[in-house]
Chain A
Amino acid sequence: MSTDDAHDPKFGEYGGQYVPEALMPAIEELADAYERYVLENEDGFMDEFRERLADFGGRPTPLQYAEQLSARYDTDVYLKREDLLHGGAHKLNNALGQVLLAKYMGKERIIAETGAGQHGTATAMAAAHLDMPCEIYMGETDIARQRPNVFRMRINGADVNPVTVGRGTLKEAISETMRDWATTVENTHYVIGSIVGPHPFPKMVRDFQAVISEEAREQTIEKTGGLPDAVLACAGGGSNTMGTFAEFVDDPDVALYAVEAGGSSLSVDEERGVAPNSATLSTGEEGVLHGARTKLLQDSDGQIMESHSVSAGLDYAGVGPELAHLVDEGRVTPVNVDDDHALEAFHRLSQDEGIIPALETAHAFGYLEEHHDDLGESVVVNVSGRGDKDLETVIEETSKRDLDIAPDMSVFDTGGMMNPDSGHTDGDH
Chain B
Amino acid sequence: MGLERVFERDDPAFIPYLTAGDPDYEASQTYIEALERGGADLIELGLPFSEPIAEGKTIQDAIVRSLEAGMTVGRYFEFVEELDVDVPVVCMTYYNLVFQYGDSEEGPRPFVEKAAEVGIEGLVVVDLPAEEAGPLRAACDEFGLDLVFIVAPTTTGDRLDSMKTQVSGYVYVQARLGVTGARDDVDDATEESLARLSDWDVPKAVGFGIKTGDHAERIVSAGADGIIVGSALIDIVAEGHENGDDTETVADRLEAKARELKEGARRGAQNRPQPERT
Contact = CB atoms under 8 A, between A and B. Distances in A.
A18 interface: yes
A404 to B, nearest CB: 40
B96 A287 contact: yes
Interface string A273-296: 100000000000111111100001
Given A303-B49, A304-B51, A22 B99 contact: no
A301 B149 contact: no
A186 B177 contact: yes
Nearest to A24: B129
Contacts of B35: none
Contact of B155 (A25, A166, A288): A25
Contact of A21 (B50, B55, B95, B155): B155
Q: Interface size class for chain B?
A: 35 or more
A302 B73 contact: yes
B270 interface: no
A179 B179 contact: yes
B153 A302 contact: no
A175 interface: yes
Given A175-B51, A179-B56, A303-B67, A21 B96 contact: no
A18 B132 contact: yes
A203 interface: no
Contacts of B101: 301-302
Interface in B46-69: 49-56, 60, 64, 67
Interface of A: 16-22, 24-26, 28, 165-166, 171, 175, 178-179, 182-186, 273, 285-291, 296, 298, 300-304
Given A171-B51, A289-B51, 11 more contacts: A24-B129, A24-B152, A25-B154, A182-B178, A182-B179, A185-B177, A287-B100, A298-B100, A300-B100, A302-B97, A303-B50
A179 B132 contact: no
Contacts of A171: 51
Nearest to A18: B127
A302 B53 contact: no
Contacts of B72: 301
Nearest to A286: B104
A17 to B, nearest CB: 6
Interface of B: 49-56, 60, 64, 67, 72-74, 94-97, 99-101, 104, 126-129, 131-132, 149-156, 159, 174, 177-179
A290 B96 CA distance: 10
Contacts of B97: 301-303
A177 to B, nearest CB: 9
Contact of A298 (B96, B151, B159, B179): B96
A352 B77 CA distance: 59
21 contacts: A18-B132, A20-B150, A20-B152, A22-B177, A24-B155, A25-B152, A28-B159, A175-B52, A175-B53, A178-B53, A185-B154, A185-B177, A287-B100, A288-B99, A291-B127, A301-B72, A301-B101, A302-B96, A302-B100, A303-B49, A303-B97
Given A20-B150, A182-B179, A301 B100 contact: yes
Closest 10 pairs between A and B when the two form their complex, measured CB to CB: A302-B100, A183-B178, A22-B152, A20-B54, A302-B96, A178-B53, A25-B154, A303-B50, A288-B96, A21-B152
Contacts of B53: 19-20, 175, 178-179, 182, 290
A18 B128 contact: yes
A182 B54 contact: yes
Contacts of A16: 131-132
Contacts of A175: 51-53
A17 B150 CA distance: 15
At the interface, is chain A mostly helix, strand, loop or mixed?
mixed
Q: Which of B50, B126, B155 has the most CB of A within 10 A?
A: B50
Contacts of B95: 18, 288
B177 A289 contact: no
A304 B48 CA distance: 12
Contacts of B149: 21
Contact of A304 (B50, B60, B132): B50
A365 B73 CA distance: 41
Contacts of B151: 21
A186 B154 contact: yes
Q: Which of B51, B95, B156, B179 has the most CB of A within 10 A?
A: B51
Nearest to A171: B51
Nearest to A301: B73
A340 B116 CA distance: 49
A287 B95 CA distance: 9
Contacts of B179: 179, 182-183
Contacts of B156: 25
Nearest to A287: B96
B142 to A, nearest CB: 21
Contact of B174 (A22, A185, A300, A304): A22
Contacts of B177: 22, 182-186
A220 to B, nearest CB: 40
Contacts of A17: 129, 131-132
A304 B55 CA distance: 16
A24 B128 CA distance: 10
Contacts of B154: 21-22, 24-26, 185-186
A375 B20 CA distance: 52
Contacts of B67: 303
Contacts of B96: 287-289, 296, 298, 302, 304
Contacts of B153: 22
A304 B51 CA distance: 7
Contacts of A166: 50, 64
Contacts of A302: 49, 73, 96-97, 99-101
Nearest to B129: A24
B99 A287 contact: yes
A360 to B, nearest CB: 23
Nearest to B57: A165
B100 A21 contact: no
B237 to A, nearest CB: 18
A20 B128 CA distance: 7
A24 B60 CA distance: 22
Contact of B159 (A20, A24, A300): A24
Nearest to A303: B50
